[in-house]
C-alpha cells in the first residue's frame, strides 16, 4: 500500500518524538503509518521502554490508533529469575501506600500477572506502575478487578459533571452511559491525551467499577 503524504509526515513526527524522548531508545524501533494508524515494531531493552514508546506515539497530533508490536529483549545484565522479580515486587509493595494487600502477583518467565480486587481504578493502575520499571520484567498482564460498590446516585451525571469541570476535556463532544458500575464512554476527541483524561475522570466517579472507552480520536485539520 502506498504511503500518503500525510502518513509520511506523521511517520516523521512519531520517529522524531521517539528520538526526542530520553526514556526511549529508538535505534531499534520501526514506525509505519496507514491512514493515521501507527504500528510500532522492533525491540527494546525493557518493558518500561516499550510503554514509553507507545506513549510517545500517542502524543503526536494526527495519530488515530497505535498498534504495539514491539518485542522486549532484555540485555544479559538485566535478566532476573522469577523468584528475584517476585521478591523485588514484594519489597515495592511493602513501601507502597496505595497498592492494597489484596493484590496477588504471579511471575512466569519474566512476565508479571496481577490479580485481586481493589476499591478504586487508580489503585489498579498504581499496582501496574509499581512493577513496570523493575529490572527483569518483560511484560505485565493486569487482571485486577474493582470491587462492586453500593449505588451512589446517578453515575452518568457524576461523570458528565466531571467532564465539565476539567479544562483538558471538551464535554461537548463526549458522553457516558452507565449500567450498574460499568460506564461506557462515547464520542470523539482530537488527541489521545484527551481520551486518556476522559477515562481517568470517569474512573474517579464513586460507583464506577469498569470503563469501556469507545471514544474515537479524530484529529481534524492541523491546528497550525
Cβ(27)–Cβ(66) under 8 Å? Answer: no
Cβ contact 114:143 at 8 Å = yes
Note whether 219 and 62 are within 8 A (CB): yes
pTM score, whole prediction:
0.80
190 and 171 in one domain?
yes
Of 43, 72, 101, the residue that ends a domain is 72
How many domains, the chain?
3
State how far the alpha carbon of 130 is from the alpha carbons of 7, 134, 141, in Å: 36, 8, 13
List, run by run, the mean pLDDT of 10-residue segments along the chain (224 residues): 75 96 94 95 95 94 94 90 94 86 94 93 90 93 86 78 88 90 92 91 86 90 54
The verdict on residue 223 lying in a domain is no
Quote the pLDDT of residue 1: 47
For residues 44 and 95, membership in a common domain is answered with no
Q: DSSP assignment, residue 95? A: H
Write down the pLDDT at residue 73: 93
Looking at the structure, do residues 63 and 93 belong to the same domain, yes or no?
A: no
In this predicted structure, what is the pLDDT of residue 181?
83
pLDDT of amino acid 97: 86
Taking the C-alpha atoms of residue 124 and residue 156, their distance in angstroms, rounded to an integer, is 22
Q: What is the CATH number of the domain that holds 205?
A: 3.30.1340.30
- Range of the structural domain that residue 42 is part of: 5-72
Helical ranges in 27-96 per DSSP H: 47-58, 82-95
Residues 60 and 103 reside in one and the same domain: no
Q: Are residues 139 and 193 in the same domain?
A: no
CA distance 136 to 79: 5
- CATH code at 44? 3.30.1340
pLDDT given for residue 26 in this prediction: 93
Q: Give the residue from 129, 146, 163 where a domain finishes.
A: 146
Residues 159 and 213 both lie in one domain: yes
Domain match, 136 and 85 both = yes
Domain closes at, from 91, 121, 146: 146
Amino acid at each position: 500500500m502506498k504511503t500518503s503524504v500525510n502518513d509520511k509526515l506523521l511517520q516523521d513526527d512519531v520517529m522524531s518524538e521517539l528520538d526526542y524522548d530520553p526514556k526511549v531508545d529508538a535505534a531499534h524501533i520501526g514506525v509505519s503509518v496507514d491512514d493515521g494508524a501507527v504500528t510500532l515494531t522492533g525491540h527494546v531493552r525493557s518493558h518500561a521502554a516499550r510503554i514509553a514508546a507507545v506513549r510517545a506515539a500517542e502524543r503526536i497530533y494526527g495519530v488515530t490508533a497505535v498498534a504495539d508490536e514491539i518485542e522486549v529483549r532484555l540485555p544479559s545484565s538485566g535478566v532476573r529469575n522469577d523468584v528475584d522479580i517476585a521478591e523485588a515486587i514484594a519489597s515495592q509493595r511493602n513501601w507502597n501506600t496505595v497498592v492494597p494487600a489484596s493484590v496477588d502477583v504471579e511471575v512466569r518467565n519474566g512476565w508479571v500477572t496481577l490479580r485481586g480486587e481493589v476499591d478504586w481504578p487508580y489503585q489498579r493502575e498504581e499496582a501496574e506502575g509499581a512493577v513496570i520499571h523493575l529490572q527483569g520484567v518483560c511484560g505485565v498482564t493486569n487482571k485486577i478487578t474493582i470491587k462492586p460498590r453500593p449505588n451512589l446516585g446517578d453515575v452518568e451525571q457524576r461523570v458528565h459533571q466531571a467532564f465539565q469541570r476539567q479544562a483538558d476535556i471538551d464535554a461537548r463532544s463526549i458522553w457516558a452511559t452507565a449500567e450498574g458500575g460499568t460506564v461506557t464512554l462515547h464520542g470523539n476527541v482530537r488527541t489521545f491525551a484527551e481520551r486518556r483524561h476522559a477515562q481517568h475522570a470517569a474512573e474517579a466517579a464513586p460507583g464506577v467499577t469498569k470503563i469501556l472507552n469507545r471514544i474515537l480520536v479524530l484529529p481534524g485539520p492541523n491546528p497550525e
